Amino acid sequence: MDNDPAKYAALARGKCPIHEEHLPELLARHRGKRLVFSDSLSAAVQASRAVFIAVGTPPTHDGEADLSYVDLVAREIAGALNDYKVIVGKSTVPVYTSDWVRRVMVLNGAPADLFDVASNPEFLREGTAVTDFLYPDRMSSARIRPPAPTWYERFTSRCSTAATTGGQTQLRIQDALPSRHP
């Protein structure tokens, strides 16, 4: 989902307006099959099992992360939930932002049992997002309540716990491939 009309239009036409290594090939291979583009956040949320919040968090005048875009998206996601989702914060944010996102969503009408929130700021780095996605070496998870969704269990079964801090568990991928090239 992209709220930039020019980017969405380019993606819908089969163009790749995002400069990431390997992305044009992957878009061409999966477009219309396992990959669908949308300019509707509500439709994208309802069609997804995991929702990544990947927005800018520029510094404020005092150097803190500006979470206004995270807040806006969390509020919109709250109104769009139709079944269980894992909400993943991609942006570099302060500690405990996952708890804050959960509160924002509940205060905006999201049933607390319909979602869990995880934080993974290193998951998709700019310029290497495709490689990071295909060959992750770590992820962070936050209180995914049992029973975890089957698709989530399949992913985390490859992980070993490295550290737990304030409800966030950093996981290391056990069988990460030595080569980070698709």
Q: What is the pLDDT of residue 181?
A: 40
User: Could you tell me what percentage of the chain is helix, strand and coil, using 3-state DSSP and rounding each to the nearest 5?
Assistant: 35, 20, 45
Question: If pLDDT is split at 50, 70 and 90, which confidence band does 149 have?
Answer: low
- Judged by DSSP in three states, 24 sits in helix
In this prediction, what percent of the chain has a pLDDT beyond 70?
72
Share of the chain above pLDDT 90, in %: 25
The b-or-e profile of 62-76 (16+ CB within 10 A means b, else e) is: eeebebeebeebbbe
Phi, psi of 10 (to 5 degrees): -65, -45
Amino acid identity for residue 129 in this structure: A
E-state strands within the chain: 50-53, 85-89, 115-119, 138-142, 159-165, 168-173
Query: How do residues 54-108 score in pLDDT, each as one tens digit?
Result: 888 889 999 998 999 999 999 999 999 999 998 988 777 887 888 899 999 999 9
> Per-residue pLDDT tens for 101-118?
999 999 999 999 999 888
How is residue 177 written in tokens? Answer: 């491939």
Please report the domains of the chain, with CATH numbers, ordered by start residue: 40-173 (3.40.50.720)
Element (H, E) at 163: strand 159-165
Element (H, E) at 141: strand 138-142
Average pLDDT rounded to a whole number, residues 132-151? 61
H or E stretch covering 115? strand 115-119
Between the alpha carbon of residue 71 and those of residues 11, 36, 65, the distances in Å are: 26, 25, 12
Q: What is the CA radius of gyration of the chain?
A: 17
Measured distance CA(7)–CA(38) in Å, rounded: 11
| Unique residue bearing structure tokens 């309802």 | 46
